[in-house]
Structures are given as structure tokens and as C-alpha cells.
Amino acid sequence: MMVLLAILVVFLFFFVRVAYETVTCYWVIPRRIRRIMEKQGVCGPKPRFLTGNILDMASLVSKSTSKDMDSIHHDIVGRLLPHFLVWSKLYGKRFIYWNGIEPRMCITETELIKELLSRYSTKAGKSWLQQQGSKHFIGRGLLMANGDDWHHQRHISYAGYMVDCTEGMLRSLKSAMESGQTEFEIGEHMSRLTADIISKTEFDCSYEKGKQIFHLLTVLQNRCAQASRHLCLPGSRFFPSKYNREIKSLKTEVERLLLEIIQSRKDCVEVGRSNSFGNDLLGMLLNEMRDKRGISGGFSLNQQLIMDEIKTFFFAGHDTTALLLTWTVMLLASNPTWQDKVRAEVREVCGSNRGAPSVDQLPKLTLLNMVINESLRLYPPASVLPRMAFEDIKLGDLHIPKGLSIWIPVLAIHHSEELWGKDVNEFNPERFSSKSFAPGRFIPFAAGPRNCVGQGFAIMEAKIILAMLISRFSFVISENYRHAPVVVLTIKPKYGVQIRLTPLSY
């Protein structure tokens, strides 16, 4: 009887504690934040009970993306962020809206954005709800890390892998053309190419297993994208729903394959066949962790951290680069004058190297760099950039309370006529001929100390692939192309990008 009573007391204690924390998290704190911001004049649309403004946003996006665009133009803010346009007209440059029970402040003032991303880089990061939506996909790797967990990122250069893999893709395209094919969905080829590069970069000798992991992570990414459209209630991730079962199954299979690769590397070192875990990304992470542990004696491998880092770099190095390449090819295929300019530059810089630039030649491709920046401006990888305040901060004239999420609408800022001029929705790489534009208005990879871990890797990869492609082929947009950008975590072409290729003699 005493044991049962003790169990009952413990159960009641935990029940009361969970209930208190739930009410505090889901009701008390959000309402407190709302009152603080309203006193400073920051208001927004009225939230519904529990769902906030989710249904309003879903309805607006569903309506705006229900039809394809009638021509290739780049005025896409109203299509992808219709709720931002509606609410910014009603409430101004700063307003509060609700993602379920989470209050989010949207800001577009470049000075505030610059201050947030640089001055408060360690005091603002991903919120719990944002991490919930992607933790099965990339876990707590560099992309989702907060504070000191993030600082050990390293820049890795694999130009040789990039050139070799690109040569393979170009041979494949030429072979298909010799068989009579003239139209290609370039997004598929870019996705496969960047997957080959990142698989080789991360796993090298485990390349085939890396390709299996790539496929599973791609499926997992699409499933995790659904999380942003659902209300996340306490304990909902434990419900045995079809969605949760599928997510768990995919995550388990990805981590099983990763553990097999990690274990095989450990075995080689332990039996003395190698004194290193390898020169690829996985090997570098394992070597670095062994060296750090070795100082205090012994080697304790944090396998979950390693797996999260691998998944993070995979996402940063594959998905964003494939989309950058796809959108850039679409823009160049639609603008033959700029395509000719870039081709002439590549041939001048690379000489007889068949368009394959060396690392030293990459900075000299200034026109190509301008085109890539304009592509990132018009079609940034992410439409929004989220941060949550981990403590009270002073941002410009605003007091930001702990727990408030701040959302930066990157796409809207990149398409702001006030910031970029009347030709804001036109493809004009000349605007990047100098770096005189105001800080905070061009942020495709965020900014400040916590900018995207894959930025340098992605830009180098994009330059090499585009230089080689444009020197071997000319291309125009196909009459079958349907312009319909959509958001699935990142901004994607709904039906891919169809182009017609013509081989060139170099």
C-alpha cells in the first residue's frame, strides 16, 4: 500500500509539473510576450485559439500557388509569401503573427536585421518548434546548432571532386544528345550531380552507401517539410500516427547506414590497418573528435553528434546548391546576352582547360559571380530566416523579451523596391558590380558570425559547375517549361526546369 501511495504521489507530482510547464509555455509566456510588444506598438492579426494564424497563412498560400505563373517573371513574393504582403500593408514593417502558440515578430528593417545577425549571434537561434520540425532530418548539427555548439565549423575544399563529377554529367548530357535527345530537365541533373559531389565529399570510399543515404534524406526532407504546416502539441511526436511512423522509419534507416560507415572506419583504425579515419568529411570529424578526446585520455565517440553533422552538411551542400544551379541555369537560358558574356569570361579566364576553373581562377570569374548573386537575390534558398531570443535583448528601439521568435522575410527583402529600385523584379546582375549596397539587404545565406555553414562550399561548387556547363553547351528555355516556384523548406521549381541544349566546340 505504501509503495502504491508513493507511486501515486510521484505520478501526481510529475503530472502537476508537466501541466504547469505546458500552461506556462503554451499560454502564460506567449501572452506576456504579446503584451510587451503591443505596448511598443507592434501588433498583428488576431490569432485563433491554439492554431494562431496557421490556417490564415495556409489558405493564402494555397490560393496564391493554385495556378502556375502565366510567364517567366520574378515578382514572386505575392505567390510565396502572400500573408507577408497582406499583414505588412495593414501593420507596417514590424508585426506579430502566431504560428500556433508561438508568437513571431516579422521585421524588414535592414539595420535591425544587421544588428540581430551580428551583435546577437549567440543570443538568438532556432526555437524549439523550429528544431522539432527538422530534428529528424538534420538533428542538432551545425545548421540547427545554437551558441557555442556551432563554433567548430570548418571550411572544406574539394574542387577536384567537383570537376571530376561535373565531367561525368557533361559526358552523360552529350551522350544523350548524340542519341537524339535535345530537351533536358536540368534540375534532375543538377540534383544528381550535387548528390554525387556531396556523397564523395562526405564518404569517399563509402560512396555507394552515401548515395543510399542521399535518397533517404531527400524523402525525409519532403516529409519533414510537412511539420511546418501542422500544429505541434505537447507529446504529439509520440503519437503512433502514419506520419510519425514513416518519419521514424526513415530516420532509423539513415542512421543505421551512417553507423555502419562509422563503425567500419573505427574498425580499420582499431585493428591497425589505418592510423586515420580518412580525408573526407566523415574522416575529418572522427579524427577531430579523437584528437580532442585524446587529450584527456581515451576516445569516446559521440555518434549522434557525428550523424547530425553529416546530415547537416549534406543538406547545406546538396539541396541549396542544386537549387542555386537550377535557378541560375533558368535565368541564363532566359537571358542569352548574359549567357554569352559569362561564356566569354570563362573562356578567357580558364584558357584551354575546357572551362574547368582552378581554385585560383575562381575569384577572376567576376561576371559569373554577379550572375550567381542575382540568382540568389531573386530565388534565395530559404524564403525566411528565423531566430529566437534566448534572453531579453535590445534591438534598435525595441525591447525583445526572451522567447520571442523573430522572422526575417528574406524573399521580401530581396524583392523590395525601396531597397533595390524599380527594376527589383528584373534579372540584372550589374547591380552586383560593386559591393556598395547597404548591409542587411542581401542575405541569401544569413549574415554575421552564424551565416550558413555551406556557403563557401556552395558558391565554389556552383562556379565550377556553371563554368564547365556554359563552356560546353549553349542553352535556351524550353517551350514546355512552366514557371511555378513553390516552397518545400527551400524555394523549388514545381515542375523542374526544362531547357534545350546545343553542344559547342571549345
CA distance between the termini of the chain: 89
Q: Considering only CA atoms, give the Rg of the chain.
A: 24
| Cβ neighbours of residue 109 closer than 8 Å, sequence gap 6 or more | 93, 94, 396
Going by pLDDT thresholds of 50, 70 and 90, the confidence category of residue 417 is very high
- Give residue for cell 509520440: 238
Total Cβ atoms within 10 A of residue 150: 18
Residue 140 predicted with pLDDT over 90: no
Look up residue 470 and give its amino acid. I
Assign 423 to helix, strand or coil: coil
Average model confidence (pLDDT) for the chain?
Answer: 82
Residue 94 predicted with pLDDT over 90: yes
How far apart (Å, rounded) are the C-alpha atoms in residues 205 and 264? 11
Query: Does an H or E element contain 25, and which?
Result: none
Judge whether 276 and 284 are in contact, CB under 8 Å: no
Tell whether 268 is in a known binding site.
no
pLDDT in tens, 167-183: 999 999 999 999 999 99
Please name which of 335, 259, 350, 340 lies closest in space to residue 302, comparing C-alpha atoms.
259
Judge whether 194 and 495 are in contact, CB under 8 Å: no
Judge whether 201 and 280 are in contact, CB under 8 Å: yes
Distances (CA, A) of 344 to 124, 132, 348, 471, 476: 44, 47, 6, 8, 17
pLDDT in tens, 41-75: 999 999 988 888 999 999 999 999 999 999 999 99
- Structure confidence at residue 132 (pLDDT): 45
How do strand 485-488 and strand 393-395 relate by DSSP bridges? unpaired
pLDDT in tens, 445-495: 866 555 555 677 788 899 999 999 999 999 999 999 999 999 987 899 999
How far apart (Å, rounded) are the C-alpha atoms in residues 446 and 449? 9
Give the pLDDT mean for 131-144.
45
Total Cβ atoms within 10 A of residue 297: 7
- Paired with 48 in beta bridges are 52
| Cβ neighbours of residue 128 closer than 8 Å, sequence gap 6 or more | none
pLDDT in tens, 184-216: 999 999 988 988 888 777 776 556 777 787 778
Query: Residue 11: left if φ>0, alpha if ψ -120 to 50, beta else—which one?
Result: alpha
How do strand 405-408 and strand 398-400 relate by DSSP bridges? unpaired
CA dihedral over 469, 170, 200, 359, signed as positive or negative: negative
pTM: 0.83
28-37, 298-307, 321-330, range with greatest mean pLDDT: 321-330
| Cβ neighbours of residue 346 closer than 8 Å, sequence gap 6 or more | 355, 357, 365, 368, 467, 470, 471
- Structure confidence at residue 133 (pLDDT): 45
Assign 354 to helix, strand or coil: coil
Which has the minimum average pLDDT: 247-256, 279-288, 329-338, 371-380? 279-288
Look up residue 497 and give its amino acid. V
How far apart (Å, rounded) are the C-alpha atoms in residues 77 and 394? 29
Which has the minimum average pLDDT: 136-150, 238-252, 413-427? 136-150
Which has the minimum average pLDDT: 75-84, 98-107, 175-184, 418-427? 98-107
pLDDT in tens, 7-37: 887 778 777 777 776 677 677 888 889 899 9
- Paired with 105 in beta bridges are 96, 406
Q: Which residues of 173-209 are buried (b: 16+ CB within 10 A; e: fewer)?
A: beeeeeeeeeebbbbebbbbbbbbbbbbbbbbbbeeb
Dihedral pair phi/psi, residue 302, rounded to 5°: -85, 90
| Cβ neighbours of residue 122 closer than 8 Å, sequence gap 6 or more | 147, 148, 449
